[in-house]
Amino acid sequence: MPVAKPVSSDGRVIAHLDMDCFYVQVEQRKRPELRGLPTAVVQYNSWKGGCLLAVSYEARKFGVKRFMRGDEAKEVCPQIHLAQVPVTRGKADLNSYREAGSEVVSILARMGRCERASIDEVYLDLTDAAETMLAETPPECLEVIDDVALKSHILGLKHEDGSDMKENVKEWLCRSDADHRDKLLACGVLIVADLRMQVLQETQFTCSAGISHNKMLSKLASAMNKPAQQTVVPCSSVQGLLESLPIKKMKQLGGKLGSSLQCELGVNFVGDLLQFSEQKLQECYGTNTGTWLWNVARGISGEEVEGRLLPKSHGSGKTFPGPRALKSLPSVQHWLNELCEELSERLHIDLDQNRRIARTLTLHAGAYTSSDSDSHKKFPSKSCPLRYGTTKIQEDAMNLFQAGLREYLGPFKVKTQGNKKGGWGITGLSVSASKISDIPSGTSSIMKYFQGQDQLCSPSKLGKDKFELENPSSFSENESNSTSNVIEHMKLPEGEPTIKTESSDLESMEHKTSKNSLEVPFDSSMSSLKNADFSQETPLSFSGRESHLEPKLTELQSKVSSEESMFESGRPASEQRVKRNSLRDKGTPSLLRFFRRVDPSCSLQSQVLAQSFDNTNICSSLENSNSIRGDSLSEDVQRKEMWQYNVNEIDPSVIDELPLEIQEEVRAWLRPQKRQANSVRRSVGIADYFSRNKKL
């Protein structure tokens, strides 16, 4: 239902630019030999040569129309050239057309606030640019006016027999006695003509334009004279335009509302609405819709041009007409997987290039049943929160489809496959991602801290600032698909977190608890790690649910001993220690092992981070310790910096994006452990498995 919006003054200058048979122009730019020839762009399939998506003006003269089948077009126009839309994943790939549309938008946005309405149409608010031109170089002061502007169509401007149309247009543009609104429109005519020429020179595309005081009138005007022309609607010509405009031609009146106006009120033209009062229209169609209809009849619209260069949503769909209808769940699953894969790819590109995320996943479908009684029913659209990642989107889309199918057929009529008596068929599927918003500045992915090249693991590049978890809302992308996946928003200041290391000996590690926060103090040097000797360590001990690892550990330790005795005499001491450490790490899957595998320099940090976890707060600190193997450390202890975040703000879905080998441990940290009423609380954490002195 249309909603009445506040009506602003008509002193604005709004332009609507529409690309002329855009898909054809894109193909003609690829193949210049097609210019000037009857051409159409076809989405090919085996049924009657596919469907025509765009038809050149040369082909339209022969009677070729959009949505004709390719075979029909050849019968009407044998010399027509059919350019096929690229195919990816068994469906049309429109990326080349989207990219071409972005070229045009980038040019048009230079002059004013720009709203990309679709792949081939744009709204521009040129009010500020027109005001500036009127103040500095008004049209009446121009000696020469571009020929493109002089070819403009100005509604209401009469051309007497034998008069020069260009001279009449120039006279209208250069009137010194015109009111302020018409002078602004005259400036808008010159600006739009110049923009259209820039688009042609830089992209080889032509476009048509409508210029008026609001979006509604500008869109109507842009379609009146095509191709490569522009039309102006002054305030004095609005009534003449609308009184003869069929009601179905007006935006938002082409469906049920327009049919209702025709049947119940006898309204066939937009101008016919003038005979009804606002109160009468409100009684028939409600307050908002009634007021909106009253304004439409007078050419009034308060809809603002949104400053948006990027699409509001992403979608992927495919139709299955006639015998190609999908009649089984496996076939639906196959095509949903293909559509979701394309959608996920586009979301990933949007995330990487524009730092935007979508919040809602929606599924639409067209369906039919063999039962006549259900033929009027429509397949219900279903939505859910969008989870990033191809597999997750595929799973959610299938769940939405099954929910919609149950509602469409009834809970007891769902069948995995249709049959002649009571089957169903799917004639169209589409998935879309909406509610797209920008990622707040200063946010980054948590996966950044698991990468070896990350500055957190590079002591030589560390700064002195803090960072902390900022936004509890999260989203995730498959790690295998992107290195810039976003799993959790984190606030990163201009500097980098300071990590201080006062000693590499883990024997003096102490546990500290602080409510709802993790505090990890470090020293500024890690040089002692290079000389640390870990060759003599106490065997690890396990208890509770980890006791099943003891036999494996014992076997592993014996293997280490045999390896040591075999190569003891033939290897240098440092090389033996490296060998023993690598063998000891095997069989102990852990967050620490993951950190070491990604970047050895992260070893100390990861052990500290894993030291102690509590139900609602986690705290770990690294204190001073004695020197290792006689290596002396500086007595100057630098001030410790803290790394803090709230455990309660961690989204559990983040865990699914971590490597499988550490998911169980991290879930254990975040999940409260049940204890008997009289049992004594024990601090058990992953660090206990790596401490050489502390045993459970």
Q: Annotated active-site positions, please?
A: 121
CB 360 within 8 A of CB 435: yes
C-alpha 246/C-alpha 170 separation (Å) is 31
Enumerate the β-bridge partners of residue 153.
231
C-alpha 260/C-alpha 293 separation (Å) is 13
Element (H, E) at 127: helix 127-136
Enumerate the β-bridge partners of residue 385.
360
Look up residue 268 and give its two tokens.
């066939």
Enumerate the β-bridge partners of residue 113.
125
C-alpha 676/C-alpha 691 separation (Å) is 27
Interior CA angle at 398 toward 396 and 404, to 5°? Answer: 105
CA pseudo-torsion sign 151, 152, 153, 156 = negative
CB 416 within 8 A of CB 422: no
Of residues 529, 584, 626, the one with CA closest to residue 576: 584
C-alpha 646/C-alpha 635 separation (Å) is 33
Cβ-based neighbour number of residue 454 at 10 Å: 16
C-alpha 408/C-alpha 402 separation (Å) is 10
The secondary structure of 520-570 as a DSSP string is: ----S--HHHHH---SS-PPP---GGGGGGHHHHHHHHHHHHHHHHHHTTT
Dihedrals phi, psi of 235, to nearest 5 degrees: -60, -35
Enumerate the β-bridge partners of residue 82.
40
C-alpha 669/C-alpha 35 separation (Å) is 66
Enumerate the β-bridge partners of residue 438.
356
CB 108 within 8 A of CB 195: yes
Enumerate the β-bridge partners of residue 255.
none
- Residue 588 carries which side chain, given as an amino acid letter? T
C-alpha 185/C-alpha 234 separation (Å) is 7
Look up residue 64 and give its two tokens.
């070729």
DSSP state of 72: H
In this structure, the chain runs to a length of: 696
Look up residue 276 and give its two tokens.
């009804």
Coil, strand or helix at 378? coil
CB 64 within 8 A of CB 76: yes
The secondary structure of 148-179 as a DSSP string is: HHHT-EETT----TT--HHHHHHHHHT-SSS-
Residue bearing tokens 């744009």 = 122
- Residue 489 carries which side chain, given as an amino acid letter? H
C-alpha 100/C-alpha 124 separation (Å) is 18
Look up residue 462 and give its two tokens.
């560390």
The secondary structure of 181-238 as a DSSP string is: HHHHHHHHHHHHHHHHHHHHHHH---EEEEEESSHHHHHHHHTTS-SS-EEE--GGGH
b/e per residue, 13-22, with b = 16+ CB within 10 A? bbbbbbbbbb
C-alpha 161/C-alpha 279 separation (Å) is 46
Look up residue 26 and give its two tokens.
């894109």
Find the Cα–Cα–Cα–Cα dihedral 328, 329, 331, 336, rounded to 10°: 140
